[in-house]
Chains A and B, each alone.
Chain A
Amino acid sequence: MSASTQALRHLPAPARRSRLRPSVREALWGFGFVGIWIFGLLVFTAGPMIASLVLSFTDFNMVRPEAVTFVGIDNYVRMLGDPSISASLIATVKFAVITIPVTMVASLGFAVLLNQPSLPAKGPLRALVYMPMMIPLVASTLVWMGFLNTDTGWLNGILRALGLAGPDWINSDVWVYPALSIMGLWGIGNFMLINIAGLQSVPTELYDAAKIDGAGRWQSFRRVTIPMISPVLLYNLVIVLIGTFQYFTQAYTMTNGKGDPNNATLFMNLVLYREGFVFNHMGYAAAIAWLLFVIVLILTLVLFWFSRSRVYYAGGDR
C-alpha cells in the first residue's frame, strides 16, 4: 500500500457532504448531469426562439442591418394577405391529407407483415424496409425524380408497357402530392420499427381469448391489436403530423426552392426559408416561424384531446 493511499484513507470525509441530506445531494447530482442539457437548451434553443420572437416584430433585413425598425404586429398582419402563406397552407393540407394516411397505413402494414411468426428471414426483410432511411434525403429525392420523370422515368415506362399513360408526376400540381407521398414511403422505416415494438408488446393471451370467443383475424386485429397499440399509433401520428408541417428537403431539392409546379410544393417551411434566406426578409420569416409553431402546437393539442377517448393505455397512464 502506497503512502498516498494511506493518506487518502486517513482523510476526514468532506464536511460539506455530511451537512447535505441525501435527497438534496441526489438532486444536486441530477442537476449537475442535466445542467449541460439545460445550458444547451437555454443558449441554443430558447435563446434563438426568443430572438426570433423579437425579430418577428421588426423588419430586419440581413443586407440592410442598419435600417432595422420596430414594426409591431405588421409582419403578422401581412401574413393574412400574403398569397404565398395561403398557398403554402393549402399545399401543406393537401399533402397532409394524402401522405399522413399513406405513411400510417404503410408503416403499420409493413409492421404487421414483418411481424408474422411464420415469415422467414424477418430480420433481413425488416432491414430492407428500413434501409432507405440510411440514404441522404437529397440523394434519394434525386433518384426518385429520375424514377418519376414523365418521359424517361421507370414508373411511367412500366405504366406504358401496361398500356397506361403515366401522369406528369413532378410537374402536375395534382399528381405532385401522390408523387411526394410515394417518395415518402422510403421514410417509413422508423415508424415501422416502432409499430413492430408495439405489436410485440401485445399480450398473446388476448389473442387466445379472442380466438376462443370466435374472433377471426380481422376482428382480432381491429378489436385487440389496434386498441393495444393505439398509444404507439398516436405517437407516430403526432410525429408524422409535425414532419408534414416541417416538410422541406424533398420539396426544396425537387424545385430548387421555387415551390413548383404552380406553388403546389410551396410548403410552409419553404416559404419561411425563402423569405428569410433568399429574400432576406428575416423579420417576416421569424413571424412565419411563429405561425408555423402555433399551428403545429394547436394541431398536436387537438390530436391529444381527441385521443383521450380513442387511445387505450393498458397501465392507466396517459
Chain B
Amino acid sequence: MLLNRPSLTRLAALAASAAILVTACGGSTATQSPSAAAAAAAAATPTAAAATAAATPSPTPLITAAPISNDQPGPNGGVVVRWFVGLGTGGQPQQIATQQQVVNDFNNSQKDVYISLEIQDNKVAGNILKTEIAAGNAPDIIGPVGVEGLNLFIDQLADLQPLIQSQNFNMTKFDPSLANFFKMGKGGATIGVPFAVYPSFIWYNKALFDEAKLPYPPTKVGDLYQGKPWDMDAVRALGMKLTVDKNGNDATSANFDPNNIVQWGFDMQWADNSPLAESSLFGASSFLAPDGKTAQVADSVKTGETWFDNGVWKDHFIPNQNQINSDLLAKGNEFQSGNLAMDETHTWYACCVNPAPPAKPIVKSFGWAIAPSYNGKITAKLHADTFAMLKSSKHPDAAFKALAYLAQSGALLTAYGAYPADPSLVQGYKDGVDKQYPDSKLDWSVPQQMLGYVDIPNHQSWVPDYAKAKAAWQAFGTGYRTSASFDVSAELDKLKATLQGIFDAAPDKNP
C-alpha cells in the first residue's frame, strides 16, 4: 500500500505527539524525580529506629502496590485499613517480607478488617505522607514512628484513649511510665501505645580499654569507678586517658598533639546535633516552659553544652565535626570505626556496630555500662517507637483493631530489631542481639536499669513549630562542633530568643 508524503508526515507527527504525551503524562512508575528525592532526603528522620534504616543501605526506593481504597470492602470482606510504613524503620527487604506476612496472617485470620500495607522509602516517606494528608488521602495508621515523627504530624493524630477503653486494650502489662509516655498529643491525648523502647547508656570498646590498661566502666547503678563516683567528671577524666594522638600520647600528657588525634575518648553519636539530647546527661529539660508558650534554656543545657564544648576544643576527648566526618571516625559512625572508646547511645545502635558485609567488623568486642550521673542523678534519654492513628480515619474502630494487632506483634519487633515495651517479649530481642555479637557477652541488666532513669521531659518532646525549632537548635549544635571560638553561653541566649520568635509565630500553639 502506498501513502503519499503528507500522510506519512502526518502519521509520524501523530505518533511522535502520542509518544511525547505518554512520556509527559506517564506517572505510574515508582521513579522519584530528582527534586522529590532531594526534598525527601532533607526530611527530618522522625523516628528512633530511623537511624537503623539510614545506616543500612537500602537497595531501591521501595514501594508496595498502591493501597486499596478504603471506600469498599477488602478481599476478605473486611473494612480496609491503610497502614503507612516508612517514617522510621520498616523499609529493609527482610522487614518488608515480615510486615507482609504479619498483614497476611491478620487478613486471613478474620473478616472484619483488612489491612492494606503501604511502604515508602524512609527518605521520601515524610513528604509523601504530607502530600497524602494535604490531598485528603491520608492512611489510617502510621508507624513505627518515633516521638519526632509524632511531633511533626501531631495535628493529625487521633486520641486513642477512648478506643483503648472501648476495645479493652491491655495497658497494665507495660511499665506505668511507658504506659503514660505517649500522652503527648493535643490536650494530653494518647497518640500511641507502647511498642518499642530504646534506652540509652554507655557503649565501650573493650580493646581500647584493655590497651590503656583501664578497668571497664560500671554496669550497676551505684557502683564506683576506680573508687570514685561514676559521674560526668569521671567520664571526662577517663575520656582524656582514652584519647590518643598519632605518637601514642594520651590527652592528659603534656606532649599530646591535639592536631593529630587518632582515637577519641567519648561522644554521643548520632544525637542529631541536639543540645537537649547531649545535655540530657546533666538532667532532662525542654526548650518550652510549662506554660506552653515561653522559650527557656535550662541550666542543665548550659552546663551540659559547656561540658561538651570544652570536651571538643579544650580537653580534646570529644571529636569536632571535621573529625566526625573523616575516615578516622567512619564518616559519622564513630563507634563502628574502632577509634571511639565510649559512646552514649541507644539500644537501636545494635544495628550498626558492625559494618554492612562484606566489610569485616572492626570492633571485635564491646560492652555496655550505665549512664554516668551528674550531681548524683542519672538521666538516660529514651527513644520510643509506636503506631499512631490519623484522626481523618473513616473507620477508627477497625483501624484501632489493626493497630492493636501490630503493636503486639513479636514478629515485627524482631524484624525491626526493637527493644520491646512489653516485658514478656524482651527475651526474643535479647537472643537476637546476643547472636549478632557473640563475643561481646552483653550485660542485659544495663538497658533494663536505664529504663528506670528516662528523661522526663523527653529530649524530643513537642514544641510549637517543631521542625523549625529543631533546625534552630541544630544550628547551635553544629556551631560549637565546628568552631573553637563559639561562645556557648552567648549562643544559647541567642537560641532562646530565636526559639521564642518561632514559638510566637507558630500556627500550632500549645497542644
Contact = CB atoms under 8 A, between A and B. Distances in A.
A62 B467 contact: no
B471 A263 contact: no
Interface stretch (A94-102, A198-206, A213-221, A277-285): A277-285
Contacts of B39: 273, 277
A164 B20 CA distance: 57
B2 A64 contact: no
Interface in A4-48: 4-5, 8, 32-33, 35-36, 39-40, 44
B272 to A, nearest CB: 10
Given A63-B130, A258-B475, A273 B24 contact: no
Given A32-B13, A171-B483, A277-B43, A44 B326 contact: no
B482 A171 contact: yes
Contacts of A2: 1
A252 B474 CA distance: 15
Contacts of B328: 151-152
B322 A149 contact: yes
A223 B481 CA distance: 52
Interface string A49-81: 000000000010111110100000000000000
A279 B134 contact: no
17 contacts: A33-B13, A33-B17, A44-B24, A63-B130, A63-B155, A64-B155, A145-B325, A149-B322, A151-B322, A151-B323, A248-B38, A252-B38, A257-B42, A277-B127, A279-B471, A280-B467, A281-B468
Contacts, number: 108
A150 interface: yes
Contacts of A150: 322
Nearest to B20: A36
Interface string B5-27: 00000000100010011001000
Contacts of A279: 465, 467-468, 471
Contacts of A280: 130, 152, 467
Contact of A256 (B42, B153, B323): B42
Nearest to A78: B505
A262 interface: yes
Contacts of A32: 13, 17
Contact of A65 (B1, B133, B322): B133
Given A260-B482, A279-B467, A273 B133 contact: no
A62 B134 contact: yes
Interface residues of B, number: 42
B389 to A, nearest CB: 15
Nearest to A62: B130
A51 B438 CA distance: 58
Interface string A141-180: 0000110011110000000000000001011000000000
A126 interface: no
Give the bracket for the number of chain A residues in contact with chain B: 35 or more
Given A146-B327, A258-B474, A262-B483, 16 more contacts: A2-B1, A4-B1, A33-B13, A36-B24, A63-B156, A67-B155, A151-B326, A151-B328, A152-B328, A170-B322, A170-B325, A171-B322, A171-B483, A259-B475, A261-B483, A278-B468
Contact of B133 (A44, A62, A152, A171): A62
Contacts of B100: none
A249 interface: yes
B134 A65 contact: yes
A171 B321 contact: yes
Interface of A: 2, 4-5, 8, 32-33, 35-36, 39-40, 44, 59, 61-65, 67, 145-146, 149-152, 168, 170-171, 248-249, 252, 256-263, 273-274, 277-281
Nearest to B260: A151
Interface string B497-511: 000000000011000
Given A44-B24, A64-B155, A278 B43 contact: yes
A151 B245 CA distance: 13
B478 interface: yes
B131 interface: yes
A63 B131 contact: no
Contacts of B152: 63, 280
B131 A62 contact: yes
Contact of B44 (A61, A168, A249, A278): A278
